[in-house]
Structure formats: C-alpha cells, structure tokens
C-alpha cells in the first residue's frame, strides 16, 4: 500500500528585484518602485495568492556586494534597500494569512529592541510574524557602529574550517540573542493586562517578570515594554550552511534554511541538525528544515536556460549561489522538491531569480502542480504562522514558574 505523502511547506525569499544580480534589467522588473511600500505589498500579495506559508525579506547592515566578505565598487547592480522589519510592519496588515518574516542582523543590534519590534509585528499581523536572524561578521558593517572591531574573514570565506572558527563567536552570540528575545516575549503573562476601567486596574504588575539574563554577550533585566505577542513566541528562523550555524538552528530556531545540492547532502544535513537538536535537549520539539533553491521557471526548460544565460551576459559573469540553482519547468521543480522531501526536509524556501517573472511562476505554476500531486494545501488552514507550520502556541515559562 502506497503511503500518502506529507504536505510540504513552501516559502519564498524576497530580495530586491530577484536573486540574479541582473534581474533589475528585465522588462518585467520594477526597479524604480523598489523603495515603495506598494512594490513590497504586491509581492507579498502574490505570495499569499499562492497559499505560501511565509515570505522572508532580506536585509543587511552594509550595501549589497558581489563579494562575499567585503564591499565592491559595482554600479550595475541593485544597491540600497529599505529596513526589512519596517517593510514587514507596513505590508503585514494588508495580508490575512501568510507569515511575514524579516531579516535581523544580531551582531550589531540589541535584542531588547528587536524583541519589541517583532512582538509589534505579531500584533499588526494578528499572529503571523517571525524573524530570520543573521550574523554580521564583516569589518565594513562593524565600522558603521564603532563599538567593536571585527577581523576580516579568511580568504576562503565562511564555509572553510578557518571561516567556521572565525564566526563561531558570532553564532554563539546569536544563540544568546535569541534566548534573550524569547525570554522578553514571555516576560508578560498572557493575562497581565486587566484593562478594568471601573477599578482603575490596567495591568497586574505581578504578571510582569524580570528575565535577569546574564551571559557572555548580554546582561538584560527586563521585562519587555510590549505585552506577550499573539503567538506567544513568534517564529525564529536562520540560514545555515555548516556545522556551526546548524547548531544555532538546533539550539534556538523553529526553522532552519539549508542549502543542499543533492539528496545525499540533504539527508546528511538533516541528520546532523537532528543530532545537534538532541544534544541541545530539543529532541521532542518540532524544528522545520527547509531547503533553499534559486529558481528560473518557464514552461519550456530551454527558455529558462536561455533566460539565465541572457542575465549572465548582462551581469558580465556566470551567476553562482550558495544554494542549488534550478532551471526548468514548474513540473520538473515539483519532481525535485518531492525527491528532496523524501530526505527529511519538511519544506522549501524558493529564491526567485527574477521576482517579477519567477514569483508568479511559483504561485501560478508550481503551486497548482503540487496541489495536483496532493502535497500542498488548497486553502489556508490556520490564522497564525505557528498554526500553518503545525506548531502549538507555547506556554509562558514565567507563568508556569509562578503557578
């Protein structure tokens, strides 16, 4: 008897006009609209039309660059972006179901500020907020703040043994950062607000809690100034390419985005994260692992390949990525996703090469194909992002202690 495949989760990663650096030169792109709220609202509305679980919004603390570890001097690619959290807060009220997950750099920001920003996003989205935490190990980013010096990364980049050792401290700091944020989200019990005009009692001060966090990187007293978010704990996610960031996912995240290039690699990544999850004492918790892919989608695979080649020519070099680059039809992509799903991945985060072309190809081509195969929803089944991901609303750690 053939088993019914488990429904998969689907996200899209939004970055400017698309992930190919020449995407802004395509006729379908809207480079003049990049710094408008309407542009981002249109993209998220299209993603919601496709019933996707969530969108992530890229961000950073330095200009985009064609170089991994330092700025460049190119003027033929998109440079400059809006703040992802503020974009998310603007567009979230214009959606009803889809999760909205902005990127936050933990290295040079304060967890107290981000805790209330994402809690606020959870309120304005009525329970559909998340955050993608990202480290900032580049010296040019540190120079914007002047509070610490950051050595240059080794020549081989992040994923060499030397690179992983160089960023280990940043990832340890990110894990502490997430712990502080999560404690601050719990620092108000759910019923701390009384709002009784007759008695003049607005809050119950006994249900606000000091978090008293003391670690290597932070000392935070608390409580937050923002009441507990609608989801209790908004979703925390992170991109991970190697063992050190896999540990961050296992220790602190609800979703890890990973970049396997084949099934064997996907299977090994899932096994490593699950082992790290057990070591972190979270073996019984659901941690989703999403595979990242850059996608060029057309009805004819030759058209998709020709489009990629044309964009490469405009960019002056072949496009490469940390993630696997898929070029083909929505049906062929559905085959690949199901192959990868069998390795233990619970979902996928797709990066549209040209957002004006490939995002509609995802929502209007790939999604119907997955629905025909019975592996993707035909309607939204929950009103919160945790609900869409099958995650229960967690109990408040301080309420349990008080009880």
Give the model confidence (pLDDT) of 183-232 as tens digits.
999 999 999 999 999 999 999 999 999 999 999 999 999 999 999 999 99
- With cut-offs at 50, 70 and 90, classify the pLDDT of residue 149: confident
CA 388 to chain centre: 15
Written as six digits, the tokens of 359 are 């995002």
Q: Percentage of the chain surpassing pLDDT 70?
A: 97
- With cut-offs at 50, 70 and 90, classify the pLDDT of residue 161: confident
* 94-121 pLDDT per residue, tens: 999 999 999 999 999 999 999 999 999 9
- With cut-offs at 50, 70 and 90, classify the pLDDT of residue 25: very high
* 294-306 pLDDT per residue, tens: 999 999 999 999 9
3-state secondary structure of 193: strand
The predicted pLDDT at position 396 comes to 97
* 270-329 pLDDT per residue, tens: 999 999 999 999 999 999 999 999 999 999 999 999 999 999 999 999 999 999 999 999
d(CA 27, CA 143): 37
DSSP state of 94: G
d(CA 290, CA 346): 6
Domains of the chain: 27-185+214-396 (3.20.20.30)
259 contacts 278 by C-beta, under 8 angstroms: no
Q: What one-character-per-residue DSSP string does 12-77 give?
A: EEE-TT-SSTTGGGSTT--GGGTTSHHHHHHHHHHHHHTT-SEEEE---SS---SSSSS----SSS
Q: Is the pLDDT of residue 178 over 70?
A: yes
Q: Is the pLDDT of residue 339 over 60?
A: yes
CA-based Rg of the chain, rounded to a whole angstrom?
21
pTM of the predicted protein model: 0.95
116 contacts 221 by C-beta, under 8 angstroms: no
- With cut-offs at 50, 70 and 90, classify the pLDDT of residue 12: very high
- With cut-offs at 50, 70 and 90, classify the pLDDT of residue 3: very low
Q: Percentage of the chain surpassing pLDDT 90?
A: 85
* 358-373 pLDDT per residue, tens: 999 999 999 999 999 9
* 116-130 pLDDT per residue, tens: 999 999 999 999 999
Q: Is the pLDDT of residue 146 over 70?
A: yes
The predicted pLDDT at position 166 comes to 80
Q: Is the pLDDT of residue 168 over 60?
A: yes
The predicted pLDDT at position 5 comes to 61
Mean pLDDT of the chain: 94
The predicted pLDDT at position 143 comes to 81
Q: Which runs of consecutive H residues, i.e. helices, occur in 143-283?
A: 161-186, 243-252, 263-279
CB atoms within 10 A of CB 362: 23
CA 299 to chain centre: 28
pLDDT greater at residue 244 or residue 1: 244
3-state secondary structure of 362: helix
């Amino acid at each position: 008897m053939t088993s019914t495949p488990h429904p998969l989760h689907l996200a899209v990663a939004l970055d400017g006009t698309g992930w190919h650096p020449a995407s802004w030169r395509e006729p379908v792109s809207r480079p003049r609209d990049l710094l408008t709220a309407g542009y981002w609202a249109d993209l998220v509305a299209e993603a919601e039309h496709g019933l996707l679980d969530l969108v992530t919004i890229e961000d950073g603390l330095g200009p985009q660059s064609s170089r991994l570890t330092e700025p460049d001097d190119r003027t033929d690619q998109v440079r400059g972006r809006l703040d992802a959290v503020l974009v998310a807060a603007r567009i979230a009220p214009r959606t009803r179901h889809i999760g909205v997950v902005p990127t936050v750099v933990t290295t040079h920001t304060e967890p107290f500020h981000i805790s209330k920003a994402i809690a606020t996003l959870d309120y304005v989205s009525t329970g559909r907020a998340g955050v993608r935490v990202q480290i900032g190990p580049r010296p040019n980013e540190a120079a914007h703040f002047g509070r610490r010096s950051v050595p240059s990364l080794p020549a081989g980049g992040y994923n060499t043994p030397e690179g992983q050792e160089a960023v280990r401290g940043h990832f340890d700091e990110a894990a502490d950062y997430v712990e502080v944020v999560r404690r601050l989200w719990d620092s108000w019990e759910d019923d701390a607000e009384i709002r009784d005009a007759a008695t003049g009692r607005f809050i119950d001060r006994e249900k606000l809690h000091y978090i008293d966090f003391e670690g290597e990187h932070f000392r935070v007293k608390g409580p937050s100034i923002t009441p507990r978010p609608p989801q209790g704990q908004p979703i925390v996610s992170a991109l991970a390419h190697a063992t050190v960031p896999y540990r961050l996912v296992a220790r602190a995240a609800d979703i890890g985005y990973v970049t396997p290039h084949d099934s064997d690699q996907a299977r090994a990544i899932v096994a490593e994260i699950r082992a790290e999850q057990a070591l972190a004492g979270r073996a019984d918790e659901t941690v989703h692992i999403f595979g990242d892919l850059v996608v060029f989608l057309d009805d004819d695979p030759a058209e998709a390949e020709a489009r990629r080649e044309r964009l490469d020519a405009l960019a002056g070099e072949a496009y490469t990525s940390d993630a696997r680059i898929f070029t083909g039809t929505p049906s062929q992509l559905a085959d690949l996703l199901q192959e990868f799903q069998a390795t233990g991945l619970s979902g996928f985060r797709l990066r549209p090469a040209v957002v004006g072309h490939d995002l509609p190809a995802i929502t209007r081509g790939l999604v119907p194909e997955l629905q025909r195969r019975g592996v993707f929803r035909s309607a939204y089944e929950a009103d919160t992002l945790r609900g869409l991901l099958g995650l229960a609303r967690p109990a408040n750690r301080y309420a349990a202690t008080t009880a």
